[in-house]
Amino acid sequence: MVYYKTKDEIELIRKSCLLVSATLAEVARFLKPGITTLQIDTLAEKFIRDHGAIPSFKNYHGFPFTSCISVNDAVVHGFPNNNVLKEGDVVSVDLGAFMNGYHGDSAYTFALGEVTDDIKQLLRVTKESLYKGVEKAVSGNRVGDISHAVQEHAEKKFNYGVVRELVGHGLGKDLHEEPQVPNYGRRGTGLKMKEGLVIAIEPMINMGRKEIYYDDDGWTVKTKDGLPAAHYEHTVCVQKSKPDILSSFAEIEAGEKANPDLNASYY
């Protein structure tokens, strides 16, 4: 069942999404070599709860943390731990917040200090592919138009691996609603989108092959070839003329650029 949202519901989802964005901006100010991903998780949970919300991911189907923090060859769903981050690491942070009965969801990938040009390109192209997909989230288009736009940019133009097993999704009272939003597919296929559809679009792009596997914890998804991956996510409301992006990267990017321990030169 696909649930279309009213204007009031959309504004409540926007509030939750903007809290997630603010939390990711707080993470951007805090990130540096020498800290652990568990410290990031603690910071994120406190920030979300201090603003009157509940972490969406904590205890979701048994996931024991507030945030999914995926480092280097971890694509998504990484467990926060006591391993110390170091110069050159690629760190993806995925967060959700539940407030006023509705979820918000967004993700961002950071580069710590000096990284290779190959990594800079991966991050830039993954973020670009997100916006290519977002552009297609307008009334009358189909979900496959979003999927094709992401795949066309990341896979066809740059020969990156687009993960098949994990997809974007609808969002609202539940963290994961219909429809699924793959990052690969054919134009003109899938659900025909109408105004009021709220979806999370989230390219998960590997530098090398598309194949992945699950780590021993049962959650962390890693690239099979051991090469880095990147992940960016916006929650978007389908509208007639142009998509309404309910989350925001503006404050995150400002924090990223202001933090001397992060590399924002990739875009």
For 4-29, the pLDDT digits (tens) are 999 999 999 999 999 999 999 999 99
pLDDT (0 to 100) of residue 16: 98
Question: Positive or negative, the Cα torsion across 147, 150, 156, 159?
Answer: negative
Taking the C-alpha atoms of residue 69 and residue 75, their distance in angstroms, rounded to an integer, is 9
DSSP string for 170-191? E-SSSSSEEEEE-SS--TT-SP
Taking the C-alpha atoms of residue 260 and residue 52, their distance in angstroms, rounded to an integer, is 31
Angle between helical axes of 143-151 and 117-135 (0-180°, round to 10): 160
Nearest to 101 by CA among 37, 8, 23: 8
- The domain limits of the chain are 7-258
Any idea which architecture 7-258 has in CATH? Alpha-Beta Complex (3.90)
Residues in the chain, pLDDT under 50: none
For 96-107, the pLDDT digits (tens) are 999 999 999 999
